[in-house]
Amino acid sequence: MIPELNELANLVSGFPGIGQKSATRIAFHLLKQSDRYINNLIDTIAKFHKNMQFCPECGALKNRELGCELCSDARDHSILCVVEQPSDAFTIEISGDYHGIYHVLMGCLSPLDGIGPNDIRLKELEARIRNKDIVKEIVVATNPSLEGNATANYIAEEFKNISGLKISRIAMGLAIGSQLEFSDSKIISQSIKNRTLILEGN
């Protein structure tokens, strides 16, 4: 193969969901674009990478210079939605009906892949809930997959002794094995509204 093509295709094939074949197609696509477009793309990527970070509190995407909108006082801090990835918080925000705060785990429990409780942000979640005593309900919105469900069960089990804390799971209008990120806004909105209680706070 042509080394220049190879080099770009290899970089692009590291993107989520992009295989070697698609990466090669993208490389050819880029070659056909104007200088102006390519420069704009390079600048935008560099700016995004420089200016954005994951919020140290909730784990969602925020501008480095600004406070986190999803952690702001304008939100309802009594309800906290637990998601796997920053992009999931973004997806739920787009659905428009949720006004509580978030906690991004940065993954989910997956013993087969060697991912245990210490490998995702579960300790941070517990600290947030115990320290503040403001959160009254956790809505677990991990993906409706085997691992997502196992993570929800683990959270319910670990946190059952925190007094006054309700734990619920988003309704499974979402197909088993589907990913939040690719689900319709209306379905997500409904699945939060119709969430089921898995632990009644005592």
Q: 77 or 160: whose CB is closer to Zn ion?
A: 77
Question: Of residues 57, 124, 126, 158, which one binds Zn ion by CB under 5 A?
Answer: 57
Q: 């692009």: which residue's tokens?
A: 12
Both tokens assigned to 87:
């992009």
At its nearest, how many Å lie between Zn ion and the CB of residue 60?
5
Member of 58, 125, 165, 188 binding Zn ion (CB under 5 A) = 58
Nearest CB to Zn ion, comparing residues 23 and 58: 58
Instruction: Give dist(CA 154, CA 107) in Å, integer.
Output: 14
Q: Cβ neighbours of residue 144 under 8 Å, at least 6 residues apart?
A: 170, 172, 174, 175, 176, 177, 178
CB-wise, 40 or 53, nearer to Zn ion?
A: 53
Interface with Zn ion (CB under 5 A), residue from 23, 61, 68, 81: 68
In the list 55, 79, 122, 180, the residue contacting Zn ion (rule: CB under 5 A) is 55
From the list 5, 71, 115, 172, which residue makes contact with Zn ion (rule: CB under 5 A)? Answer: 71
Q: Judged by CB under 5 A, does residue 120 bind Zn ion?
A: no
**Residue 58 C-beta: closest distance to Zn ion, Å:** 3
Q: Mark out the alpha helices in the chain (DSSP H runs).
A: 3-12, 20-31, 35-51, 86-95, 122-132, 146-158, 185-193
Q: Which residues contact 64 (CB under 8 A, 6 or more apart)?
A: 50, 51, 52, 53
Q: Are 180 and 89 in contact (CB under 8 A)?
A: no
State the minimum distance, in angstroms, from the CB of residue 55 to Zn ion. 3
Binding residues for Zn ion, rule CB under 5 A, total: 6
Residue bearing tokens 């600048």: 43
* Contacts with Zn ion, residue ranges (CB under 5 A): 55, 57-58, 68, 70-71
